[in-house]
Structure 1
Amino acid sequence: MSQAVLDNAPTPRRDRSLAVVGVFLLVSLGLHVGGFWALGEGAARTLPAAKRPVEMVMVEVVKPPPLIVGMTMSSTTSAGSFAAPVGNTAYGRTGPTAKDPKDV
């Protein structure tokens, strides 16, 4: 083999990662400076005038009836074979004695 072939080894490439990192840092620095400058300009603007405050109106609310566990009157019949408690909600446990349907 000739000496020319042996000396023709590829030259080592220079690593460009340092240049890429430098460009990235410069671009990042420029974007951050521009962002902070824009935020500073926004603070110098005058704020809009305050709107008229909202007036509160007090409204009296009717207190809801107390919850009585049982069936509604529309769910009952007059010719039933058993007694069922009458109430205004089905959520909960019925008491030991039923209330008078006129009280519900």
Structure 2
Amino acid sequence: MMTKKLINTNKNIYELCKEYPEIKDILSDLGFEAIKNPVMFNTMAKITTIDKASKIKNIDMKNIIKKFEENGFTFAINENNERNEILKDLIKRLHNGENIE
């Protein structure tokens, strides 16, 4: 059985590629061609997560996860994402004058 390689969604792309160099090819195949550009890799990859990159390039995370899984990776999804989204929604609603109750 092949051991799954873990993708920590909190790490930036630069860190992930240093840990697993094959990620560059996977991301390039998905449409993130700039990853092969050394300048882009050494700048933008250091401040961008896979989730942020998917939003920038408008590529569905489901497709990204599927491609990574096909290449022996598994995602450690940030469990706080759902909680953070709920909190953001509550703050927006309070800011817009909605009753706390």
| Structure that is richer in strand per residue | 2
| Structure that is richer in helix per residue | 2
State the TM-score, normalized to the length of structure 1: 0.24
- Structure of higher CA gyration radius: 1
State the TM-score, normalized to the length of structure 2: 0.24
Relative contact order, higher structure (CA 8 A, sep 6+): 2
